[in-house]
Amino acid sequence: MKKSLLFIITSIFVLILAACGNDSTKNEEKTTSETESDNEYPIVIKHAFGETTINEKPERVATISWANHDVALALGVVPVGFSAANYGIQDDSGLLPWTAEKLKELGEENPNVYQDTDGLDFEAIADSNPDVILAAYSGITQEEYDTLSQIAPVVPYEETPWVTPWRDQVLLNAKGMGMEEEGKQLVADTEKLIEEKANEYSVIKGKKAAFGMFNTADLSSFYIYTPADPRGEFLSDLGMEYPEGIKNLITDDSFYIQVSAENADALNDTELFITYGNKDTLAALQADPILGKVPAIAAGNIVVIEDNTPLAAAGNPNPLSIQYTIDEYLTLISDVAKNIK
């Protein structure tokens, strides 16, 4: 989440380490490197800005933007630098709790966190001397990509900014790290966890659900995240269905759509909404003369995630955040879903 489209959306959604880690991490990387055959290089990764060639396994991995560092950490690699979280943090560390927990597990007490919530800090990134820069989930521009590429090979998103699903975040970043097989295993392990947890909370299965953002100060329009967005995709992972009425409003590959209250009838087949907010959000929605008539809203089938909390940040999932928050998330959803007739 940078000062790009996602940062803008985040700002209205009241809408959305300088070494390569400790010796043990270096040893892990060396061991992994030794298991990879030399003929796997160079690696060529195609993406939105062309293609990136990586000639040998990177030993110094940097990440920028949202959650890419969590992928590296989940694979046992401490980045030489990574972007500070700009949403959901509870202190000035720039670390979400699952990131902090994994850093501690890997023995990193002093991570190199780029203070770049107002824009990429190219100097800090260059000073960390990376062999590769991971940005599979990001909104970097062509200009930013070109500047970063002067520092090290860059692995950005494949096509569209801010819509890289969590699986592709893992696979793209892992490939850039020379850990493609490990990435595939991480995806498989995470999918197994999701399936097990979804079965534990089976009341949510098949429910027509959407993740949106309602600004209760102005309900003349609102935002719904599309299936292209990781938030929307994760609901499907959990066994819920994307409502046809909303799907019919989607005209491009954007990660969200803005819906006018005049088109609120498109929400009529939605059984459950998930949104950011506070204790007053549901009452405000139900009091609205238009949105209050939407069946799911009228029935109170709204999961409100406290804004700017770790759980809210986990709405954009990755393997670490999923493992850390999935029970809390599913408990909230199940408590609402069990009331759906």
pLDDT per residue as tens digits for the range 285-300:
999 999 999 999 999 9
Domain ranges for the chain, please list them. Answer: 43-198, 202-338
- What three-state secondary structure class fits 125? helix
Q: What is the Cα 117 distance to its own chain's centre? A: 16
| Residue matched to tokens 């880690």 | 21
| Mean pLDDT score, 252-268 | 95
Question: Residues 219, 225, 230, CA angle at the centre, nearest 5°?
Answer: 150
CATH of domain 43-198: 3.40.50.1980
74-95 pLDDT per residue, tens: 999 999 999 999 999 989 999 9
What CA–CA distance (Å, rounded) separates 34 from 130? Answer: 20
Identical fold for domains 43-198 and 202-338, yes or no, is yes
pLDDT of residue 341: 81
What is the longest distance spanned by two Cα atoms in the chain?
A: 65
CATH class of 202-338: alpha beta
Q: 67 to each of 83, 112, 207, 319, how far by Cα in Å?
A: 9, 15, 28, 9
pLDDT band for 118, please (50, 70, 90 cuts): confident
Q: How confident is the model at residue 228 (pLDDT cuts 50, 70, 90)?
A: very high
DSSP letters, 287-304, are HSTTGGGSHHHHTT-EEE
Buried b or exposed e, range 94-107, using 16+ CB within 10 angstroms: bbbbbbbebbeebe
Q: What is the pLDDT of residues 40-75, one digit of tens each?
A: 899 999 999 999 999 999 999 999 999 999 999 999
Quickly state the pLDDT bin for 30 (edges 50, 70, 90).
very low
Q: Is the peptide bond before 42 cis (omega within 30 degrees of 0)?
A: yes
Whole-model pTM: value is 0.86
Burial class (CB within 10 angstroms; exposed 0-12, middle 13-18, buried 19+) of 199: exposed
Per-residue confidence (pLDDT) for residue 33, from 0 to 100: 39
CA separation for the pair 8, 260 (Å, rounded): 19
For the chain, the first-to-last Cα distance in angstroms comes to 37
Of all residues in the chain, the percent with pLDDT exceeding 70 is 89
- What does pLDDT average to over the chain? 90
User: Quick check: 65 and 1 in contact, CB under 8 A?
Assistant: yes
DSSP 204-232: GTT-BEEEEE--TT-TTEEEEE-TTSHHH
